Amino acid sequence: MNLSAAQYRELLEVALPSVVDADSLALNQRTLFVPDTHRLALDPDVAVVKGGRGVGKTVWFRSLQDHKLRDLAARAYRFPRLANAVAYPGYGAALDIHRYPGPAELASLMAADTEPDLVWTTVLLTALDVPELPRDRSWTERVRWVQAHPAARDRWLAEADDRAGMRSKVVLLLFDALDRMHPHRAVTDRLVTGILRLALDLRTRTRNIRAKVFIRPDMLSDSVLRFPDASKLTANAAELEWYPANLYGLLFHLLGNAEHRLSRSFRESTPIWSTHGDRHVPPNELTGDERLQKDLFTQLAGPYMGTNHRRGGTYSWLPNHLMDGAGQVSPRSFLRALITATRTTGIRYAGHSYALHWEGIRQGVQDASKLRVREIAEDLPWVETAVKQLDGTQVPVEQGEVVARWEAADLSRLLAVKPDVPEEGQVRTGPRHIDDYVGLIQELIEIGVMTRRADGRLDLPDVYRIAFGVGRRGGVPRVRS
Amino acid sequence: MTIRFDDAWQGARQVAEEVARGGRDVVLARDLTGRISLILDDRASALPSEDQASIERRLSAVAGPFAAAMPTLLASGLFAPEVFLDSSDLGLVEDRRIGRGRLRTADRGAVGGDWTTTPKASDKRVTLYGFKGGVGRSTATFLLARHLASEGRCVLVVDLDLESPGVGALLQHEANLPEFGLVDYLVEAAVGNEAGVDLVVRSQIIEPVGNGEVWVAPASGRPRRGYDYIAKLNRVYVDLPAGAEGDHGLRFADRIHAAVEACEAEVARRSRTPEVVLLDSRAGVHDLAAVAITRLSGYSLLFAMDNPQTWTGYRALFRQWGRIPELARTMRDRIQMVASFVPPGGGEGEYLSGFRDRAQACLAETLYDDAASDDPDAYNPAPADDSAPHAPLPIVYTGELVGLDHVRSPNWYSSTLVNAAYERFVRGAAEFVRGEP
């Protein structure tokens, strides 16, 4: 039997995580969703995993380090080799000075002109638990020690490789949060290059030790890839993609795994689920068949974004309006929009015949848009500083006008005012082109905040436009009452 | 320098804007000969005569030979000013704001008048229109009719392309066309002689299984000795003048409306009420197309190729509607762009995204709301919005249809290539017609 509107709303309220930030989200076996598009990203032999904001880089970075979640992924993706992996963090957002240097230590290492390769090799040898390594010392001393013993370094690596091979294990060294290593983009680029060279080196020289680098596509620029055979890494790169079917798959997975009695009713009202322990796995139809998903979502949200089809259908409207300039929708935005949609409908449209009202969904998208802008402001403060200057304008806008506004605000100066020595844990990388406004525009396009129109003018996708306070040019004047 | 038609209007607009900015409501009007006058609303606050004289001098100077005999008129001097000033036909340029008056326009033209009449239309009628001809519209009409019939619908196709009829011949062998066509109905109805003019026939080419049917109302009757198409065509576009007592005359738009209703009634009589009526409209900014799009049909599929001429044409057309905000709001909900002749293969995605971008620019400038930064409720969908009218239904170019003689290749529409080329259009258009997202 299908759930009523009120029951669906009740279930949505419990099932959707109130925190949608992967750094603080409690990961567990019930709620970890495994979209079919992410299989390649988990292959131990794939070193570079590209993904924009909020697409699950940190979720996988953390899940791979948890043996239960890793086993679960290995089972779901039929990847026995993954079940035999052991994973260590090589860098991440959390401070873990036993495993890798934090931003402050990285800053002083880089200030002392240390070779990034040497830093990451030291991190690797630490992960491999090489007994000779002085582990109770600072990273600077450890690095110096590794530098002083080049022959031993190669021997340890070979030995660790053999040990892993004998035990049929794969050792994975994971890298995440690369934009939180150093405030200066040029230095960050060198550190990233170091990580990538290590990844390539491991692939050529070992059989059972691999690096996996979770990275935003815009950070993987030509300048970090300027080393021999870099193309071998990028040709083999995976991408964490979310198609609408994956997003809805995630929603249905969460609805079927909520700690609520209605979760069971939901599972029973949909095609056969399979159960492993306390984890309920939705059938392929619910995670991959758009027609069936659309029917099911229509039970929750009704068919249209209004009283008729003129404003589009709910199923495609929601992800379509969360897309950034690169055509990507993050599950984080998607979930946030649904949380607000549920809440708004409950407060303002409680008597609606569906659990979600289209005005609620619209409100949800606006809220997700605000969240997105907040995230950008945290992660890439320079983006906020730059785009904020466009407040009150309308898109499409001439490039000349954008540049003129930036010049008037002296953006270069605003972007340059950044503490050289970062506060611990607060590091965020800046743009590549502080003084070159055209280059800055190009960077904004690469990260999906801006788009270029066919006539050369600049535009903002709605997910950023509305929250940044930018209008859209049109021919029909709005009647003010 | 000689003041030409467009210069006169631009100049007069500026004068009108200045007056409105001073806090007074104004309506800028242009008559059939292009002569311009400015109506000044002095009902709330009087206008000193020297101010009026100064405005009049400025207007006469910028409008030159296009200045009306009385370049300015006071609302208080009009007979029943509210009838004119409260009319919904006026185009809004700038609304009132603190300290500023409202500027509206009244532009009366002969051709194109039907583009801006307030629409009353039936949702079951769908117009297929292309600003330029030769975009594969008739083929698309044929395939859409076939698809809808395969879903069990009763479909009527009306060939409104009277200048170059086509879809009739696609849907029916010449020998089986009905005795009469639309032109016959129009000339007979003009003298009250339309009874018994049978002008629809069930297509024998599309033979759907199940309950579907396709009917066709061709432009011309079956060709035969003594059948003079051109003589009738010459007489269909006129408004019929009012006659003796009780006869109010009939405008061209009403004549076409009556003809389409007659076709629908005849299908209903001979089988059942058609669930979908496809109007294959002629190209260009012709009144016949205007009537079909704004007066008859609830939806219009607008065919376009991504080139500058096409967008200039559509821009001009949409601007007609955009002058009247109410009409703009209605029309933008009723139209859907179709990208015809999309290059096949690898270039498809790029072509379509360019198309979508330029279609959005064209629609935004003319029919979408001017969205301020603090107005999230304004309707101005972004280029990426899939549910917006500018997101095109694609038809892929297929060489197979070039120079096709459908009489000698009677099974042309069964070709896999043809069906693949039209598949997304047919599915999308069918959803649009059925009112599904």
Weakest mean pLDDT among B120-129, B196-205, B219-228 = B120-129
Asked if A480 and B95 come within 8 Å (Cβ–Cβ), the reply is yes
**Is the domain of A223 the same as that of A262?**
no
Chain B residues inside the 8 Å CB shell of A451: 383
pLDDT tens digit string along B69-106? 889 999 888 777 777 777 666 778 888 888 899 998 88
Asked if B365 and A465 come within 8 Å (Cβ–Cβ), the reply is no
Q: Who among A312, A392, A462 is closest to B387 (CB)?
A: A312
pLDDT tens digit string along B285-327? 777 777 788 888 889 999 999 999 999 999 988 988 888 888 8
pLDDT at position A435: 83
pLDDT at position B326: 85
**Is the domain of A189 the same as that of A75?**
yes
Chain B residues interacting with chain A (CB cutoff of 8 angstroms) = 92-97, 318-319, 322, 325, 328-329, 333, 354, 357-358, 361, 364-376, 378, 380, 382-388, 431-432, 435-437
Mean pLDDT of all residues in chain B? 87
Q: Who among B94, B358, B386 is closest to A477 (CB)?
A: B94
Asked if A471 and B373 come within 8 Å (Cβ–Cβ), the reply is yes
Asked if B371 and A394 come within 8 Å (Cβ–Cβ), the reply is yes
Distance (Å) from the alpha carbon of A467 to chain B's nearest alpha carbon = 9
Q: Who among B96, B364, B375 is closest to A475 (CB)?
A: B364
Question: Under 8 Å CB-to-CB from B93, ≥6 apart: which residues?
Answer: A477, B13, B17, B103, B104, B105
Q: Who among B329, B367, B383 is closest to A459 (CB)?
A: B383
How much of chain B exceeds pLDDT 70, in percent? Answer: 93
Say if A4 falls within a structural domain: no
Angle A415-A420-A426 from CA coordinates, rounded to 5°: 85
Domain that residue A230 falls in: 36-239
- Report in angstroms the alpha-carbon separations of A226 from A196, A230, A431: 10, 7, 19
Distance (Å) from the alpha carbon of A366 to chain B's nearest alpha carbon = 9
**Which domain CATH number covers A454?**
1.10.10
Q: Who among B367, B373, B382 is closest to A469 (CB)?
A: B373
Q: Which of A357, A377, A397 is the last residue of a domain?
A: A377
Average pLDDT of span B98-123:
70
Chain B residues inside the 8 Å CB shell of A477: 92-95, 325, 370
Say if A25 falls within a structural domain: no
Closest chain B residue to the Cα of A455, Cα to Cα = B358
- Peptide bond preceding A150: is omega within 30 degrees of 0, i.e. cis? no
Question: Under 8 Å CB-to-CB from A126, ≥6 apart: which residues?
Answer: A98, A99, A100, A133, A135, A142
Distance (Å) from the alpha carbon of A297 to chain B's nearest alpha carbon = 13
Give the residue from B187, B190, B193, B212 showing the smallest Cα distance to B202. B212
Asked if B376 and A366 come within 8 Å (Cβ–Cβ), the reply is yes
CA A73, A77, A78, A81 torsion-angle sign: negative
How much of chain B exceeds pLDDT 90, in percent? Answer: 48
**Is the domain of A227 the same as that of A78?**
yes
**Is the domain of A461 the same as that of A357?**
no
**Is the domain of A426 the same as that of A407?**
yes
User: Taking 70 as the threshold, does the pLDDT of residue B247 lie above it?
Assistant: no
For the domain spanning B5-109, the CATH number is: 3.30.300
pLDDT at position B110: 43
User: Could you give the CA distance from residue B162 to residue B127 in angstroms, rounded to a whole number?
Assistant: 14
Chain A residues inside the 8 Å CB shell of B315: none
pLDDT tens digit string along A118-136? 999 999 999 999 888 887 7
Closest chain A residue to the Cα of B365, Cα to Cα = A475
Say if A355 falls within a structural domain: yes
CB count, 10 Å around CB of B230? Answer: 7
Say if A11 falls within a structural domain: no
**Is the domain of A157 the same as that of A53?**
yes
Average pLDDT of span B385-410:
87
pLDDT at position B402: 77
Pair B437, B427: CB distance under 8 Å:
no
Q: DSSP for A162-198, please give it.
A: HHHHHTT-EEEEEE--GGGS-SSHHHHHHHHHHHHHH
Say if A12 falls within a structural domain: no
What is the three-class DSSP state of A295?
helix
Asked if A472 and B378 come within 8 Å (Cβ–Cβ), the reply is yes
Say if A321 falls within a structural domain: yes
Residue identified by tokens 């019939």 is B149
Fold of B118-369+378-434: Rossmann fold (3.40.50)
Average pLDDT of span B265-278:
95
CB count, 10 Å around CB of A307? Answer: 9
Asked if B94 and A308 come within 8 Å (Cβ–Cβ), the reply is no
User: Taking 50 as the threshold, does the pLDDT of residue B208 lie above it?
Assistant: yes
pLDDT at position B112: 47
What is the three-class DSSP state of A388?
helix
ipTM over 0.85: no
Asked if A474 and B97 come within 8 Å (Cβ–Cβ), the reply is no
Matching fold, domains B5-109 and B118-369+378-434: no
Chain A residues interacting with chain B (CB cutoff of 8 angstroms) = 303-305, 308-317, 320-321, 323, 327, 366, 391-394, 396, 451, 453-455, 459, 461-462, 465-466, 469-480
User: Could you give the CA distance from residue B254 to residue B235 in angstroms, rounded to a whole number?
Assistant: 15
**Is the domain of A293 the same as that of A192?**
no
pLDDT at position A19: 62
CA A186, A191, A192, A196 torsion-angle sign: positive
**Which domain CATH number covers A205?**
3.40.50
Burial state string for B407-429 with b = 16 or more CB within 10 A and e = fewer than 16: eeeeebbeeeebeebbebbbebb
pTM: 0.81
| Number of residues assigned to chain B | 437
Say if A14 falls within a structural domain: no
Distance (Å) from the alpha carbon of A305 to chain B's nearest alpha carbon = 9
Asked if A480 and B372 come within 8 Å (Cβ–Cβ), the reply is no
- All residue ranges of chain A with pLDDT < 50 are 419-422, 424-425
A89 versus B432: the higher-pLDDT residue is A89
Residue identified by tokens 């015809």 is B340
Distance (Å) from the alpha carbon of A49 to chain B's nearest alpha carbon = 25
**Is the domain of A289 the same as that of A349?**
yes
Chain B residues inside the 8 Å CB shell of A469: 373-374
Taking the CA atoms of chain A, what radius of gyration do you get in angstroms?
24
**Is the domain of A284 the same as that of A151?**
no
Say if A5 falls within a structural domain: no
List chain B domain ranges.
5-109, 118-369+378-434
Q: How confident is the model at residue B117 (pLDDT cuts 50, 70, 90)?
A: low
Closest chain B residue to the Cα of A320, Cα to Cα = B385
Q: Which of A377, A407, A430 is the last residue of a domain?
A: A377
Q: Which of A239, A262, A296 is the last residue of a domain?
A: A239
pLDDT at position B111: 43
Q: Name the domain count of chain A.
A: 3
DSSP H helices, A16-128, are: 39-42, 57-64, 67-76, 80-83, 103-111, 116-127
pLDDT tens digit string along B3-32? 888 889 999 999 999 999 999 999 998 887
pLDDT at position A421: 45
Asked if A476 and B94 come within 8 Å (Cβ–Cβ), the reply is no
